[in-house]
Structure 1
Amino acid sequence: MLRIAFFTAAVALGSMVSAAPNGPIRVVDGDTFKVNGTTVRLHAIDAPETDQMCGDATSPAWPCGAWVRDKTHEMFEGRMARCIATDTDRYGRTVAKCSVDGRDVGETLVSKGLAFAYREYGMDYDLVEKGAAVNARGLHGTGIMSPAAFRSAQRAKTRPNKVRNNAGAKTVTVNRGTSPKRSLLPNAINPACKIKGNISLNSGERIYHVPGQDYYAKTRISVGKGERWFCSESEARAAGWRKARN
């Protein structure tokens, strides 16, 4: 009788671990969804926090966490997910691997450089992330503190004596390569887009410069002042900028 009871309990426990919600996705952030009303933390990936900023010595600070959330929303909001639970985290969220149209959602996000492999919880996406890094996709094309390190830094502001000693400002390696790569960075801050959108100091007029024009080389972009990059002249004109006369 005891063996039967133990077997029944084991089966029930296994069902609890493997069962996960299926249904339409509501995106919370880059690695957390609501699926049919259940909060799902995607297995073995880690995306920037919504309020996280990115940037380094060669690129200005920009809201990469909100950008990742918006990109994830564009791809998955409202779509039907099939999930397999792997665990429950300390916040009570269901940890799961989810797929949409047969494609692993975590793999898609890591492949596009919108999230990182969370190796502490699994090596599922290790090689996928390395491929994204080599090709400078998404977040690999700019400086970024790892999401885990960012969270530790945020905790340190309120609980300076309780943060783990080894949870400092680690950064994700950025491999820019030697040849131009297609980037998922917003065009506004992406110097791979060659057209410079400048704002006149005197008139406030918005003027764009293309390679080969007289003042192109001298023009510097200050994103903080509202200046930006464009990938095409049609994009610049649609945003309300005019072409420089020289």
Structure 2
Amino acid sequence: MIRAAVLAAGVLLAFPAFSGEPLAGRASVIDGDTIEIHGARIRLEGIDAPESRQTCMTKETGQVVRCGQKAAFFLADLLAEHTVTCTEAGKDRYGRMLAHCAVEGQDVGASMVRAGWALAFVRYSREYLPQEEEARTAGAGMWATEFVAPWSWRRGAR
């Protein structure tokens, strides 16, 4: 019994997110708004990126662009070999940690939206609306294409 309690305490200490502490480490990119650190799936709070299979069409040439893949690649380049620090904001309906994450003091969600590879997820937060307006004005990322918002795409509006 004591051995099990000691083991459980060790597991909790190994995963700081369970203790209220920020979770930090090198991240693996799952898609444009989801990463994994130390086996914990983390959904970036306040943003919604195109789904991995989602495509967009360039405004100038009508060429199909794999915008979901481009969003994931942009996030991977942003995180690169850096330590990512995430502060939990709750859980989503799939049990993933919702978090604000940073790399070298830079808000990852803000960077994704400003680059145009994610949208402000206004259903849950208005935090990134200024960055979205900046991206839209600049024609950055998805804003250089005709696209369906990720939340509509998931509901079948393709």
Name the TM-score class by shorter chain: 0.7 to 0.9
TM-score, normalised by the number of residues in structure 1: 0.54
Question: Equivalents in 2 of 1:130, 1:116: separation in Å?
Answer: 10
The answer to whether residue 47 in structure 2 is matched with residue 45 in structure 1 is yes
Q: Is the CA contact (8 Å cut-off) linking 2:59 and 2:144 kept in structure 1?
A: no
Structure with larger RCO (C-alpha < 8 A, sep 6+) = 2
Task: Tell me how many residue pairs correspond in the alignment.
Answer: 141
Question: Any idea what SS the aligned residue of 1:120 has?
Answer: coil
2:65 to 62, 65, 79: 62
Cα displacement (A) at 1:19: 3.9
Question: Equivalents in 2 of 1:18, 1:49: separation in Å?
Answer: 30
Q: Is the CA contact (8 Å cut-off) linking 1:17 and 1:85 kept in structure 2?
A: no
Question: Equivalents in 2 of 1:113, 1:50: separation in Å?
Answer: 15
Q: Which has the higher helix share?
A: 2
Question: Any idea what SS the aligned residue of 1:139 has?
Answer: helix
Query: Where does residue 219 of structure 1 map in the other structure?
Result: none
Q: Is the CA contact (8 Å cut-off) linking 2:88 and 2:99 kept in structure 1?
A: yes
Q: 1:87-125: per-residue Cα shift (whole Å, max 9, x none)?
A: 101111000000110110001111111111001111110
Aligned residue runs from structure 1 range 17-166, under 5 A: 18-55=20-57, 58=60, 59-153=62-156
Cα displacement (A) at 1:18: 4.6
Cα displacement (A) at 1:57: 6.5
After the TM superposition, which parts of structure 1 deviate over 3 Å for at least 4 consecutive aligned residues?
Answer: 15-20
Q: 1:181-229: per-residue Cα shift (whole Å, max 9, x none)?
A: xxxxxxxxxxxxxxxxxxxxxxxxxxxxxxxxxxxxxxxxxxxxxxxxx
Cα displacement (A) at 1:66: 1.0
Question: Equivalents in 1 of 2:18, 2:131: separation in Å?
Answer: 29
The root-mean-square deviation of aligned C-alpha atoms, in Å, is 1.9
